[in-house]
Amino acid sequence: MSNVLVRHRSISELEFYRNACELRGTLTRFVMNEKNVPKRYKFVFAVPMVNLLLELFNNITMANTIYAISEHEAQLRRDYQTKAIANCEQALQLLQYMTDTLPIDVNKLRIPIDLIRKEIALLKAWRKATKVPAKE
């Protein structure tokens, strides 16, 4: 347990990862539920969404494994972070396509959309903080 009061806690360094885990679980459960996505649309919506979420995690993992000690490595890390942000934007577009095609209650999508928007903001902040450490 932390001895810091909740109101004094800041966002953790890996908040983007924790949020991405929650996003992955929420969206996977949503698209795999037959009440939301009928069986005949699984290959149109569910499979691409799960693949996007896997790609999001791959890009986050790749970016997180690079410790930037040169400008080239920092740029490589930023590229993976940018790809992760693009994955989130693609997920939003796929959800929009789903709402245009299927009779989905938009209120059911409120939580996943909020999680995606939060993930985009966290990833952008993480990308902005990616810098080459100053040499001593």
Structure confidence by residue, pLDDT tens digits, 42-69: 999 999 999 999 999 999 999 999 998 9
Reported as a pLDDT band with limits 50, 70 and 90, residue 12 is low
Locate 29 and state its tokens: 């459960």
The predicted structure's pLDDT at residue 75: 95
Segment 92-102 shows an average pLDDT of 96
Say whether pLDDT at 116 is over 60.
yes
Largest pairwise CA distance in the chain:
60
State pTM to two decimals. 0.87
The pLDDT of residue 3 is above 70: no
By C-alpha distance, which of 11, 21, 45, 19 is closest to 115?
19
Q: How confident is the model at residue 98 (pLDDT cuts 50, 70, 90)?
A: very high
For domain 14-128, say whether CATH 3.30.43 is its number.
no
- Rounded to an integer, what distance in angstroms lies between the CA atom of residue 63 and that of residue 105? 35
Listed in sequence order, the residues at least 6 apart from 17 whose beta carbon sits closer than 8 Å to its beta carbon are: 60, 64
pLDDT tier for residue 132 given thresholds of 50, 70 and 90: confident
41 vs 135, which has greater pLDDT?
Answer: 41
Domain ranges for the chain, please list them. Answer: 14-128
CA gap 129, 121 in Å, rounded: 12
d(Cα 123, Cα 126) in Å, to the nearest integer?
Answer: 5
Q: Phi and psi of 84, rounded to 5°?
A: -65, -40
- What's the mean pLDDT in 11-25? 88
Q: Please work out, in degrees rounded to the nearest 5, the angle formed at the alpha carbon of residue 50 by the alpha carbons of 46 and 55.
A: 145
What is the reported pLDDT for 11?
A: 58
Token pair recorded at residue 96: 């929009």
Is the CA virtual torsion 97, 49, 11, 1 positive or negative?
positive
